[in-house]
């Protein structure tokens, strides 16, 4: 019996290793195929007015008596009929979402959503961006910000709502909005630039390991992980950081000239209330509050560009979930055997 249990455990471990290897191979295949499938996707559009209306009607149906509810529905129908008869068209509000990681990966979706909006939006309409990002790579967030600049250049009003965080590259995007609304405890600011890397040169030297860095161009490599860093290289690296910081500051000032840039471009962060005092934002208000308010006199459309996943990507996700289940079951059984 003990032999069978040991053999079953061996088979389970072998199967786990094989599945893990399979997941890695599938992930590699998915990454290789991503470039071929890039751009394959579709735009999903949801009318948020219907969502808010269903919430209100559900509550009214539970709270109001039948006669009062009937009167209200008749009044709403008359108002809608009158509006259509008068030919009054509601303005459109296009709602976009950006949930940023360190590489600003959501930019690929944002660029398609902005292109779709600009194909029909007019200066009488509005774009609302619900932004959440703690920042990341300079060039990645520079591209993301450029997508929002397209909206401003088209003359379409842009409002940015920050419910949790818009710091560093996130604020680089937020500052483009003609209006910036923030939740009271959202984090904003961090207008600065940071770079850090380890250096193991002394460790390698201690073990008599040589590492050579060959470059063509005096400043092709300023600081390295394995080679010996020089004071001249550090100075050049710092100079590059200062240059990037200056460009960042100039970009923010271009869209928010009311800021005292030298006071706020220190890399510090502020919560909503303090950010309002520093004029980093224009009003303390959550995105829910703003959109619910707009739903009363405008048509709200939420846009989401959904990328089409390739077969290896879909298979890889399924395999990853299967591995998670196997490992979880194995861990639970192991704990049960320990405490029995």
60-69, 231-240, 275-284, 291-300: which has the highest mean pLDDT? 275-284
- The answer to whether residue 323 sits within a structural domain is yes
Q: Is residue 220 flagged as an active site residue?
A: yes
Share above pLDDT 90 across residues of the chain, in percent, rounded to a whole number: 53
For residue 157, tell me if it sits in a domain: yes
**Which is the catalytic residue, given 133, 168, 182, 190?**
168
Residue 77 pLDDT grade (very low, low, confident, very high; cuts 50, 70, 90):
confident
Same-domain status, 85 and 8: no
The answer to whether residue 220 scores a pLDDT higher than 90 is no
Q: Looking at the domain assignment, is residue 175 inside a domain? A: yes
Confidence (pLDDT) at 340: 44
- 105 and 74 in a single domain? The answer is yes
Q: Rounded to whole angstroms, how far apart are CA atoms 184 and 289?
A: 13
d(CA 20, CA 13): 11
Same domain flag for 28 and 169: no
Task: Return the pLDDT at 281.
Answer: 97
The model carries a pTM of: 0.76
CA atoms of 336 and 330, how far apart (whole Å): 10
Same structural domain for residues 35 and 178?
A: no
Domain presence at residue 203 = no
What is the Cβ-side half-sphere exposure of residue 183, based on CA atoms within 13 angstroms? 15
Q: Is residue 220 part of a domain?
A: no
Same domain, 73 and 167: yes
Model pLDDT for residues 165-176, shown as the tens digit of each residue: 999 999 999 999
Asked if residue 266 has pLDDT above 50, the reply is: yes
Q: Within 13 A of 143's CA, how many CA atoms are on the CB side?
A: 14
Q: What is the mean pLDDT of the chain?
A: 84
Three-class DSSP category at 185 = coil
| Residue 102 included in any domain | yes
15 with 134, same domain: the answer is no
Query: 34 and 3, same structural domain?
Result: yes
For the chain, percent helix, then strand, then coil, each to nearest 5?
55, 15, 30
Answer yes or no: do 21 and 35 share one domain.
Answer: yes
Number of domains in the chain: 2
Q: Which residues pair with 46 in a beta bridge?
A: 302
292 and 157 fall within a common domain = yes
pLDDT at position 11 over 70:
no
User: pLDDT tens digit string along 131-153?
Assistant: 999 999 999 999 999 999 999 99
Count the neighbouring beta carbons within 10 Å of the beta carbon of residue 91.
14
The pLDDT value given to residue 331: 56
Q: Would you state the pLDDT for residue 189?
A: 96
Q: Which of 66, 85, 220, 337 is catalytic?
A: 220
What is the band of 307 on the pLDDT scale with cuts at 50, 70, 90?
Answer: confident
Q: Answer yes or no: is 229 within a domain.
A: no
Q: Cα dist. 24→14, 16, 35, 293, 319 in Å?
A: 16, 12, 18, 48, 10
For the ranges 55-69, 126-140, 232-246, 270-284, which has the lowest average pLDDT? 55-69
Q: Is 205 a catalytic residue?
A: no
State what percent of residues in the chain have pLDDT above 70: 77
CATH of the domain at 300: 3.90.226.10
Give the pLDDT confidence score for residue 339 in this predicted structure.
41
**pLDDT given at position 143:** 97
Q: How high is the pLDDT of residue 175?
A: 97
Given pLDDT bands bounded at 50, 70 and 90, which one contains residue 333?
low
**Domain match, 54 and 174 both:** yes
E strand segments, the chain: 41-47, 91-99, 126-133, 158-167, 179-182, 187-189, 269-271, 283-284, 298-307
Does residue 259 sit within a domain? no
- 185: domain range? 43-190+268-307
Asked if residue 29 and residue 118 are part of one domain, the reply reads: no
CA distances from 35 to 10, 141, 142, 197 (A): 39, 21, 22, 30
Q: Is the domain of 82 the same as that of 36?
A: no
Under 8 Å between Cβ of 111 and 149: no
């Amino acid at each position: 019996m003990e032999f069978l249990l040991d053999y079953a455990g061996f088979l389970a471990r072998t199967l786990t290793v094989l599945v893990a290897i399979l997941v890695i191979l599938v992930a590699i295949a998915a990454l290789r195929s991503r470039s071929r499938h890039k751009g394959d996707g579709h735009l999903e559009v949801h009318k948020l007015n219907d969502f808010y209306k269903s919430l209100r009607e559900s509550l009214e149906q539970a709270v109001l008596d039948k006669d009062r509810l009937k009167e209200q529905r008749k009044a709403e129908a008359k108002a809608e009929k009158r509006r259509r008869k008068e030919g009054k068209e509601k303005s459109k509000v296009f709602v976009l979402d950006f949930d940023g990681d360190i590489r600003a990966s959501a930019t690929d979706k944002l660029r398609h959503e902005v292109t779709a909006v600009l194909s029909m939006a007019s200066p009488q309409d509005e774009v609302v961006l619900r932004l959440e990002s703690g920042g990341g790579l300079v060039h990645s967030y520079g591209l993301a910000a450029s997508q929002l600049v397209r909206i401003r250049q088209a003359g379409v009003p842009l409002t940015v709502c920050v419910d949790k965080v818009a710091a560093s590259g996130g604020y680089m995007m937020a500052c483009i909005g003609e209006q910036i609304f923030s939740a009271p405890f959202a984090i904003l600011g961090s207008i600065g630039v940071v770079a850090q890397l380890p250096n193991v040169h002394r460790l390698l030297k201690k073990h008599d390991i040589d590492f050579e860095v060959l470059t063509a161009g005096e400043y092709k490599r300023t600081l390295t992980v394995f080679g010996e860093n020089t004071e001249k290289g550090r100075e050049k690296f710092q100079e590059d950081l200062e240059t990037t910081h200056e460009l960042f500051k100039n970009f923010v000032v271009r869209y928010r000239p009311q800021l005292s840039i030298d006071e706020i471009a220190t890399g510090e962060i502020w919560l909503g209330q303090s950010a309002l005092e520093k004029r980093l934002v224009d009003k303390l208000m959550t995105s829910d509050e703003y959109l619910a308010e707009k739903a009363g006199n405008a048509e709200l459309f939420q846009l989401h560009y959904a990328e089409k996943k390739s077969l290896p990507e879909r298979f890889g996700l399924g395999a990853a979930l299967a591995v998670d289940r196997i490992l979880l079951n194995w861990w639970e059984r192991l704990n049960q055997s320990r405490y029995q």
